[in-house]
């Protein structure tokens, strides 16, 4: 007989296959959530106007990039076994971290993004190539800029900007992914998605642990971005997840391109 936990696991796995995303409730214990929030606040204040500049800055949002280098709290986040199990469901067993970023939709009408697919990449004949995980640091509500997704589009092999007259506009089939602070959304990143407008007076914060198949370049080349002192303390498992000893990744990242789904 199935236990309720087993049924939940199956339900999440089915939704991820069918819709291209699924919510994992309560993955971050309160003490961990608080530690992450407070580390993020410190980095945002240290970096000031430069925040996010290792990757890209976004009007309407505060972004931070290269977070594995900026706090030991983030090492357990990118190697969380439950999350990695679902990432493997999307990408197969051979994947690596593409980047770990933070994004907060500005209060008072900030945060709207066009529908996009991450890195602009589509699935290919070997399967899916990208998978994102959104770690909710605040509740995601219909008012505060929760992520919208268009269920099922991960199998369309089309980009929204190529078929929609205006990818900023609402899509008739889009749904808002709401949840509680501490939840994690696993999203096949070929699913059309984007941040929505934050109509509240408080920020809406989340981390994005983004993974790619081994034959895809990292969005942020970890070997170049992580300081030596960080690289040296990482376990063999983390080194593998970050592709620090991976000649194929070195080759793929040599061009230095850092692709976003929509940011220039
Ligand atoms: O923060 C969100 O709601 C989605 C962010 C996103 O899709 C992105 O920055 O590419």
Is residue 137 within 8 A of residue 36, CB to CB? The reply is yes
Q: Considering only CA atoms, which of 24, 29, 59 is closest in space to residue 262?
A: 59
In the chain, pLDDT over 90 holds for what percent of residues?
A: 91
How far apart, in whole angstroms, are the C-alpha atoms of residue 83 and residue 138?
19
Q: How confident is the model at residue 3 (pLDDT cuts 50, 70, 90)?
A: low
Q: What's the token pair of residue 191? A: 């699913």
Cα-flanking dihedrals φ and ψ of residue 77, to 5°?
A: -70, -50
The pLDDT tens digits of the residues spanning 109-149 come to 999 999 999 999 999 999 999 999 999 999 999 999 999 99
Q: How many angstroms is it from 261 CA to the middle of ligand 1?
A: 10
Q: What is the pTM of this model?
A: 0.96
State the pairing for strand pair 95-105/130-136: unpaired
Q: How confident is the model at residue 256 (pLDDT cuts 50, 70, 90)?
A: confident
Query: Does pLDDT of 2 surpass 60?
Result: no
Please name the residue whose Cα sits nearest to atom 8 of ligand 1.
194
Q: How many angstroms is it from 3 CA to the middle of ligand 1?
A: 34
Interval 60-64 mean pLDDT? 97
Q: How many angstroms is it from 194 CA to the middle of ligand 1?
A: 5
Domain covering 4-253 in this structure, CATH number: 2.60.120.620
Query: Does pLDDT of 89 surpass 50?
Result: yes
CB 261 less than 6 A from any atom of ligand 1: yes
Q: What is the pLDDT of residue 259?
A: 81
Interval 140-160 mean pLDDT? 98
- The domains of the chain are located at 4-253
CB 148 less than 6 A from any atom of ligand 1: no
The pLDDT tens digits of the residues spanning 231-242 come to 999 999 999 999
Q: How many Cβ atoms sit within 10 Å of the Cβ of residue 120?
A: 13
Q: What's the token pair of residue 7? A: 């049924």
Question: Helix, strand or coil for residue 184?
Answer: strand
């Amino acid at each position: 007989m199935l236990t309720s936990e087993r049924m939940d696991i199956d339900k999440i796995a089915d939704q991820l296959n069918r819709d291209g995303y699924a919510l994992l409730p309560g993955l971050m214990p309160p003490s961990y959530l608080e530690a992450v929030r407070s580390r993020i606040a410190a980095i945002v204040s240290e970096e000031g106007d430069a925040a996010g500049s290792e990757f890209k800055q976004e009007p309407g949002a505060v972004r931070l990039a290269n977070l594995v280098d900026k706090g030991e709290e983030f090492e357990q986040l990118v190697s969380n076994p439950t999350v990695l199990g679902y990432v493997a469901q999307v990408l197969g067993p051979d994947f690596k971290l593409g980047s770990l970023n933070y994004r907060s939709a500005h209060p008072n009408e900030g945060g709207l993004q066009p529908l996009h697919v991450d890195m602009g990449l589509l699935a290919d004949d070997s399967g899916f190539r990208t998978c994102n995980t959104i770690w909710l640091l605040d509740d995601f509500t219909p008012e505060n800029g929760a992520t919208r997704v268009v269920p099922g589009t991960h199998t369309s092999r089309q980009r929204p900007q190529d078929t929609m007259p205006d990818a900023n506009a609402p899509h008739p089939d889009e749904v808002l992914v709401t949840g509680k602070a501490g939840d994690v959304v696993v999203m096949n990143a070929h699913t059309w998605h984007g941040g929505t407008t934050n109509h509240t007076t408080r920020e809406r914060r989340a981390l994005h642990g983004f993974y790619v198949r081994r034959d895809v370049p990292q969005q942020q080349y970890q070997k170049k971005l992580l300081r030596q002192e960080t690289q040296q303390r990482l376990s063999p498992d983390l080194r593998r997840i970050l592709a620090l000893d991976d000649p194929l990744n070195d080759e793929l990242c040599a061009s230095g391109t850092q692709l976003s789904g929509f940011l220039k």
